[in-house]
Structure formats: C-alpha cells, structure tokens
Structure 1
Amino acid sequence: MKLLIVSDSHGDRSLIKTLKNSYENDVDALIHCGDSELRAVDPVLKGFHIVKGNCDLDQQFPDELLLDVQGYKIYVTHGHLFQIKSSLQNIAYRAEEFGADFVFFGHSHILGVEKIAGTLFLNPGSILLPRGGNEQTYAIIEQKEDICTVRFFNDQQEEVKSLRREFQRISKEK
C-alpha cells in the first residue's frame, strides 16, 4: 500500500495539481487533510479523499472520513475538532472507535508521526504555510511486508531524508 498525504494548502491550486500529476498513478490513494480553501467541485481536487478544515467554507467536505485501502482502516480529519494542538488523546479516542490502523490529520502546520497502541498517527505538515521552522511538506507512506515507511517531501518533491521513519508493520488486526 502506498499513500500520499497532504494538508493545509490554503488555496494554492498549483501545489495540489503538481502533486496530483506526479503521484496519482503511483499511489493507492491521494489524501488531503483539509484547509484546501477550494470548492469541493474544483477539478484539481478530483481523485483526492478530502476533509473539511477550519478554513474551508464549502459544506460539501465531510468533517471526517473512514477509508479502506487494501484492508487497512484509515481515519482522516483536519484535527481542529479534536484540539490536536494540545494533545492527540481526543483524536486517538475517535480513531479507536473506528478501529483505525492509520490516522491522518493537519491543522497545526507542524509535521509529525508516531505510533500509538499499534495505530500510526501522521500530520504531514503544511504544503504552503509550515510552522515550527519546518519546510513546506507532504508525506508518502508505504506499507510493505513487515515495514511501514513514512517519508516527508518538500514542495520541490525532494525527500527530507532526516525525517524518514520506519515502523514495524501496521497490523490490520488489533
């Protein structure tokens, strides 16, 4: 399984279009964690699984999504409804309700990844307005055999190698 995860593009259509054109034939899913600030019918978003962020006005975006990709349960939300800037506890409770294997969110504009109780939590950072001294980033996750690899890339599609992380296989069975 291979996924592209992006968040907080804040109206920049060209960044999203570039990512889509570069990866749509190479990944199993394109995921946007909100604050696109685009309309749901914008053609650049076609093919993306996308949620509503606190800066999105289009009511057609859902607040959360539960996806099944190759048997993995993937929970996607922007994060603002779960106060992710303070703690991951609220979003972790919600993910547990769904039995999620992966949890993707944005909102803070600060990238991060960690495995909690067998579930991988990932914030890809912001592709437009990063905080915390980080670059503009998005993430690619690959689940192969016994290893789940998380790689972060900058807006020039160059891997930020110092941020690469590997985890033991994320299990479909909890």
Structure 2
Amino acid sequence: MKYLVVSDNHGDRDILVDLADTYRGKVDRMFHCGDSELEPTDVLWQDFIVVKGNCDYDPEFPNQIVEQTEIDRIFMTHGHLANVRFGLTTLAMQAAEESANIALFGHTHEIGCEVRANILYLNPGSISQPRGPIQLKSYAMIESTADHYYVQYFGRDHQPFKELSFTFSK
C-alpha cells in the first residue's frame, strides 16, 4: 500500500491541486493532516482524507480519523489537541486506543518519523512553511508492506530528498 501524507499548506491550494493531479491513481490513499485553511466543501477533499487543524475553523472537519486499509489501520489527527509539541505520549495513547499501526500528524511543521511499540509515527513536515532544523518544504510517501514501512520525503518539485529515506520493520 502506498500513502501520500501532506500537512500544513496554510491556504496554498495550488500545491494540493498539484499533488492530487500528480498522484491520483498512483497511490492508495492521500492524507492531509490539517491546517489547509480551505473550506470543507472544496472539491480537493474528494482526493484527500483530511482532518481539522488549529487554523481550520469549520466544524465540518473531523478532529481525527481512523482509516482501515487492506493491511494497515491508520490514525490521523493534526496534533494540536494531542500536544505533539511536547512529545508523542498523548498521540501514542490515542493511536493505541484505536489499534492503529500508523499514526499521522502535523502541527509542528517539522519532518519526523519513528516506530515505537509497533506503531509508525509520521509527520510530513509542512509543504509551505517548514520549521525546525530541517528547513525543507515537504510531504511524505509511505510504502507499507507485510514486513516493512518504507518512508520517503519529497519536495514540492516531487523529487525525493535522498537523505530523508527510512526503512522500518513492522
């Protein structure tokens, strides 16, 4: 299974259109971890599974979702309600409560991925406003197999950041 994960475009609709046009039919799911600043009625949400960020004010956006695929159970939230700026403890409890093996989040605008207690935690960074030590406008691709997660980060030009490629055992 291939999953595209993006977050924190903060009103930059064009990059989401580009991602949808580039990957439609080439990935199994496209996830948006919040702070789109778009309307919940936007036609883009036909392509993306989306949650509400702290800068998305319409109550129609869900705060979190659980998406079941053929091989994964994915928990996604923006992260502000899970206090991800202070660590993954609350997010880990939420993901475990949902029996998820993948937890997706944004909010910090910082690239990050790791596996803890058999759960892959992934923040795609921000596609428009990166923060932290890795100042790259980014999104992530997860390829999930029976035995591994392969994570690759990409730039807005859809070229991989070669140094941001990770393999984790399931």
Interval containing the TM-score (normalised by the shorter chain): over 0.9
C-alpha distance after superposition, 1:30-81 (max 9, x if no partner): 1000000000111123221100000001211000000001131100000000
Equivalent residue for 1:67? Answer: 67
Equivalent residue for 1:22? Answer: 22
Q: Secondary structure at the match of 1:38?
A: coil
Q: Structure 1-normalised TM-score?
A: 0.94
Equivalent residue for 2:142? Answer: 141
Equivalent residue for 2:98? Answer: 98
Aligned residues: 169
C-alpha distance after superposition, 1:85-140 (max 9, x if no partner): 11100110111101101000000000100000000000000000000142100000
Supply the AA of the counterpart residue of 2:140.
A
Q: Structure 2-normalised TM-score?
A: 0.97
CA RMSD of aligned residues (A): 0.9
Q: Which runs of 5 or more structure 1 residues have no equivalent in the other structure?
A: none
How do 1:10-159 and structure 2 match up within 5 A? 10-132=10-132, 133-159=134-160
Equivalent residue for 1:9? Answer: 9
Q: Secondary structure at the match of 2:113?
A: strand
Identity of counterpart residues, as a percentage? Answer: 41
Name segments (4+ residues, structure 1) moved above 3 Å: none
1:162 aligns with 2:168: no
CA distance in 2, matches of 1:146, 1:66: 21
**CA separation of 1:145/1:99 partners in 2, compared to 1, >3 Å: closer, same or farther?**
closer
Contact 2:71 2:146 in 1 (8 A): no
Q: Secondary structure at the match of 2:160?
A: coil
CA distance in 2, matches of 1:27, 1:45: 15
Supply the AA of the counterpart residue of 1:165.
F
Contact 2:74 2:103 in 1 (8 A): yes
CA distance in 2, matches of 1:44, 1:11: 13
Q: Which runs of 5 or more structure 2 residues have no equivalent in the other structure?
A: none
